[in-house]
Amino acid sequence: MSSLPIKVTVFDDNAYRRESLSMLINSSPKMTCAGTFFDCSNVIADVRKTAPDVVLMDIDMPNVNGIEGVKLISINFPKVQVLMQTVFEDDDKIFASICAGASGYILKKSTPVQLLQAVEDVYNGDAAMTASIARKVLTAFQKNVFYENNQEISLTPREKEVLGFLVKGYSHKMVASACTLSIHTVNTHIKKIYEKLQVNSVAEAVVKALNQKLI
């Protein structure tokens, strides 16, 4: 990854929280806050102007909310990672967010250290999900019947094992430890999984794995 600071753009309707998040992000030597916005009414222009690596997105905002915002970002800026902020572990909203293209999720009650780590995780390609939110995502998919079985996808046993850990919310380092593999080998497997599933992120891989019952 680049040695340049991670550029983070914040969307949150709470002025105090926007200011607090901006100060927190700028306090990290690894990050810089590229801009803060009240809602997603002008999300395409705002993201184009600030050119972030990661967007920190509130789900519940007036006018245009975070779920609609992440859809627009996913379509227009596919390389930008979006980390959703949630107050409650709401099945429906988390499900809608991951389907819209979000890269990860974190609770607003998380500590500053946890939030900064989550931003770094999604920037580095890891799935940023608390264990409780990962369980909620699994539950949400179990309640919804969306299957795309018209596409034949053949994964090796090791790729299925790695994908299974990603679904559980494991980071790349945790997968490496669980499978007794090097980070480089895990990243190679994940790259192959992305190619076979035709996805670009852990969140998309999780969606497809659960939708198509690949594991």
d(CA 160, CA 143): 22
d(CA 149, CA 210): 11
**Which regions in the chain score pLDDT beneath 50?**
1, 145-150
* pLDDT one-digit tens code per residue, 75-104: 899 889 999 888 766 666 777 777 777 888
d(CA 181, CA 197): 22
d(CA 48, CA 27): 24
d(CA 215, CA 202): 15
d(CA 119, CA 213): 29
Are 25 and 93 spatial neighbours (Cβ–Cβ below 8 Å)? no
- Stated pTM of the model: 0.68
113: Cα within 13 Å, side-chain hemisphere: 0
At residue 61, the pLDDT reads: 85
